Amino acid sequence: EERLRELAELRRQREQAEQDRLEQERRLQELAAQRAAEEAERQAAEEAERLRLADERAAADARRATLGEEYVATIRELVRRNWTRPPTTQPGVVCRIRVVQIPGGEIIGAEIVSPCNADAATRRSITAAVLRVAFLPYQGYESVFEREIDFDFIYEG
């Protein structure tokens, strides 16, 4: 009887040890699954943040491009308003102009760069018109400011 009790106790201890081992294994699996879920969540959050930043950069680039186009259009219009057309100017003039400015918008140089299909007098008058502008708009265009800006001056007639 004593031996049976000892055997029963040993069996109970083994069963308890097996249950403890299985419980520990289950806890380890739960912990591993929890860690995997946390890692997947962290990676998803990082990817979402990367996508958000990429979207913000794309939107900023689009705003900058639009602002840059607006800036060049403003410069083109200012030059057109300050241009005194010589009588020798023929319709269909297209000249690429390079304006050199300093921060604040002050024009410090202007030149005709290729291509330009205008005669010499028209070329000089366009360059003079740029220099008469004297100051390009700066406030509000700081983000698209460039020391040298090339744009096409067009006279259709």
pLDDT per residue rounded down to tens, the chain (157 residues): 788 888 899 999 999 999 999 999 999 999 999 999 999 999 999 999 999 998 888 887 777 778 888 888 999 999 999 999 999 999 999 999 999 999 999 999 999 998 899 999 999 999 999 999 999 988 888 888 899 999 999 999 8
Q: How far apart are CA 92 and CA 87, in angstroms?
A: 14
Question: 105 Cβ partners below 8 Å, 6+ apart?
Answer: 135, 136, 137, 138
pTM given for the model: 0.61
